[in-house]
Structure 1
Amino acid sequence: MIRRSFVAALAFTAALPFAVWAQPPLKVVATTGMIADAARQVGGEQIEVRGLMGPGVDPHAYRQTRSDIVAMTRADLILWNGLYLEAQMEDFFHDLGRKRTVVAVAEGVDPSKLRAHDDYADKFDPHVWMTPDLWRDVVLEVQAALTLARPEAAESFASNAQLHLAELDRLTKYAQDTLGSVPDNSKVLVTAHDAFGYFGDSFGFEVLGIQGISTQSEAGLNRIGELVDLLVDRKISAVFVESSVSDRSMRALIEGASAKGHAVAIGGELFSDAMGEAGTYEGTYIGMLDHNITVIASALGGDVPTGGMNNKLSAGF
Structure 2
Amino acid sequence: MTRGAYMLAYLAALIILLLPFPITYVGVAGGPGGERRVALATTTIIWDMARNVAGPGWRVEYMVMPGRDPHTFEPTPRDMVKAAEADLILYNGFTIDAWILRLVTASSRAKVVRVTEGLEKYALLVPDGPYAGRMDPHMWMDVGLAIRYVERIRDAFIEVDPAGAEGYRERAAKYIEELWRLDAWIREEVAKIEPSRRLLFTQENAFQYFARAYGFKIVGYFYSMITELEPSPLDVARAQKRVEGSGLCVFFIESTLSPRVMEAFASRLHGRVAGRLYTDSLGPAEIGHDNYISMMRYNVETIVRELSRWC
TM (norm. structure 1) is 0.81
Structure 1 segments of 4+ aligned residues over 6 angstroms from their partners: none
Partner amino acid for 1:52?
A: M
Is the 1:84–1:90 contact (alpha carbons within 8 Å) kept by the matching residues of 2?
Answer: no
Give the corresponding residue for 2:222.
Answer: 210
Residues in 1 aligned to 2:178 and 2:112: alpha-carbon distance in whole angstroms = 27
Pairwise CA distance, 1:293: 0.9
Indicate whether 1:187 and 2:198 are aligned.
Answer: yes
Residues in 2 aligned to 1:215 and 1:165: alpha-carbon distance in whole angstroms = 31
Give the corresponding residue for 1:113.
Answer: 122
Pairwise CA distance, 1:231: 3.6
**Which residue of 24, 34, 40 corresponds with 1:29?**
40
Pairwise CA distance, 1:274: 0.5
Give the corresponding residue for 2:145.
Answer: 134
Equivalent residue pairs, number:
277
Indicate whether 1:301 and 2:281 are aligned.
Answer: no
Query: Counterparts in 2 of 1:58-207, with a 5 A limit?
Result: 58-93=69-104, 95-96=105-106, 99-106=109-116, 108-118=117-127, 119-120=130-131, 123-207=134-218
Is the 1:211–1:219 contact (alpha carbons within 8 Å) kept by the matching residues of 2?
Answer: yes
Q: Counterpart of 1:152 in 2: which secondary structure?
A: helix
Partner amino acid for 2:295?
A: M
Indicate whether 1:255 and 2:267 are aligned.
Answer: yes
Give the corresponding residue for 1:45.
Answer: 56
Residues in 2 aligned to 1:90 and 1:73: alpha-carbon distance in whole angstroms = 12
Residues in 2 aligned to 1:74 and 1:279: alpha-carbon distance in whole angstroms = 29
Is the 1:240–1:266 contact (alpha carbons within 8 Å) kept by the matching residues of 2?
Answer: yes
Pairwise CA distance, 1:199: 0.4
Residues in 1 aligned to 2:36 and 2:109: alpha-carbon distance in whole angstroms = 20
Is the 2:53–2:171 contact (alpha carbons within 8 Å) kept by the matching residues of 1?
Answer: yes
Residues in 2 aligned to 1:122 and 1:236: alpha-carbon distance in whole angstroms = 27
Q: Counterpart of 1:234 in 2: which secondary structure?
A: coil
Give the corresponding residue for 1:276.
Answer: 283
**Which residue of 217, 237, 240 corresponds with 1:225?**
237
**Which residue of 247, 266, 269 corresponds with 2:273?**
266
Give the corresponding residue for 1:306.
Answer: none
Q: Deviations over 1:158-177 (max 9, x none)?
A: 00000110011011101111
Is the 2:198–2:216 contact (alpha carbons within 8 Å) kept by the matching residues of 1?
Answer: yes
Q: Deviations over 1:196-228 (max 9, x none)?
A: 110011111112211103424662212312333
Is the 1:240–1:270 contact (alpha carbons within 8 Å) kept by the matching residues of 2?
Answer: yes
TM (norm. structure 2) is 0.82
Partner amino acid for 2:288?
A: Y
Residues in 2 aligned to 1:49 and 1:279: alpha-carbon distance in whole angstroms = 20
Pairwise CA distance, 1:229: 4.4
Q: Counterpart of 2:70 in 1: which secondary structure?
A: coil
Q: In angstroms, what is the RMSD of aligned CA positions?
A: 2.2
Residues in 2 aligned to 1:124 and 1:96: alpha-carbon distance in whole angstroms = 27
Is the 1:239–1:266 contact (alpha carbons within 8 Å) kept by the matching residues of 2?
Answer: yes
Pairwise CA distance, 1:123: 2.8
Residues in 2 aligned to 1:78 and 1:279: alpha-carbon distance in whole angstroms = 27
Is the 2:41–2:47 contact (alpha carbons within 8 Å) kept by the matching residues of 1?
Answer: yes
Residues in 2 aligned to 1:134 and 1:147: alpha-carbon distance in whole angstroms = 20
